[in-house]
Amino acid sequence: MNIEQARANMIEQQIRPWEVLDQDVLDLLYVVPREAFVPPAMRNLAFADLEIPIGEGERMWAPKIEARALQALALHKSDRVLEVGTGSGYLTALLAHRAAQVRSVEIKAGLAAFGRANIEHHGVQNVILESGDAARGWAMDAPYDVIVLTGSVPALPKSILGQLAPGGRLFAVVGEAPIMTAQLVTRLAPESFRTTGLFETVLAPLENCEQPPRFRF
């Protein structure tokens, strides 16, 4: 497989047609080698339009989801980011290239080790990797300018919204299968948030995420 041709095809045939037009985002996809963050047995699928299994029942996002999230978040070099769910570390690395610092928290020990090895091999220096459960937020360094949830939630978690700084942005996939929507939430004031629906997709749920109250008879 011609790696560079496959990467270019991914960007031009999958990502750009999916309304990713931010040239900085497109350029970044050439800088961070996606194939280096997938399990070795899956490297021939690194640029395919699908979710790649990475172990412990988890999967990498499809490439176009990663790119749309980056574009929507419009990161700045001064941003401090919380990523809930490190996974392979690929999205972590993409975020790190555009932000001041990324704190990424992974609940599953095997994935935490996998993501750490990938991040260290890639050599980004502005990432703090932690093992733990950040499904309801992570007090260390809060508030954050950007928060990314890598698993879906049935409703926007108030505990995490409360950790957004003024002007901060949250990317989350909200809903329950088969109906979920990727959302960008911006904190306008202490009790004021703007929510923008971006696209429909389905992601595996975030482990231990906050559950909305259920109606009981």
> What is the rounded average pLDDT of the residues 133-157?
96
Q: Is the pLDDT of residue 50 over 70?
A: yes
Task: Assess if residue 209 is contained within a domain.
Answer: no
Cβ atoms of 34 and 47 closer than 8 Å: yes
Which residue bears the tokens 């109906």? 179
> What is the rounded average pLDDT of the residues 148-159?
95
Distance between CA atoms of residues 160 and 170, nearest Å: 9
DSSP assignment string, the chain = --HHHHHHHIIIIIIGGGT---HHHHHHHHHS-GGGGS-GGGGGGTTSSSPPEEETTEEPPPHHHHHHHHHHHT--TT-EEEEE--TTSHHHHHHHHHSSEEEEEESSHHHHHHHHHHHHHHT-SSEEEEES--BTB--TT-SEEEEEESSBBSS--HHHHTTEEEEEEEEEEEEETTEEEEEEEEEEETTEEEEEEEEE---PBPTTPPPPP----
> Does the global pTM surpass 0.75?
yes
Task: Assess if residue 205 is contained within a domain.
Answer: no
Domain range for 28? 3-200
Q: Could you tell me how many residues make up the chain?
A: 217
Q: What is the mean pLDDT of the chain?
A: 95
Task: Assess if residue 82 is contained within a domain.
Answer: yes
Task: Assess if residue 98 is contained within a domain.
Answer: yes
Tokens linked to 115: 């993501």
**CATH code for position 175:** 3.40.50.150
Query: How confident is the model at residue 213, as a pLDDT?
Result: 74
Task: Assess if residue 206 is contained within a domain.
Answer: no
Task: Assess if residue 215 is contained within a domain.
Answer: no
pLDDT tens for 58-85 read 999 999 999 999 999 999 999 999 999 9
Q: Is the pLDDT of residue 214 over 70?
A: no
Q: Is the pLDDT of residue 148 over 80?
A: yes
Query: How many distinct structural domains can be found in the chain?
Result: 1
Distance between CA atoms of residues 83 and 134, nearest Å: 9
pLDDT tens for 81-110 read 999 999 999 999 999 999 999 999 999 999
Task: Assess if residue 211 is contained within a domain.
Answer: no
Query: How confident is the model at residue 155, as a pLDDT?
Result: 95
Task: Assess if residue 43 is contained within a domain.
Answer: yes
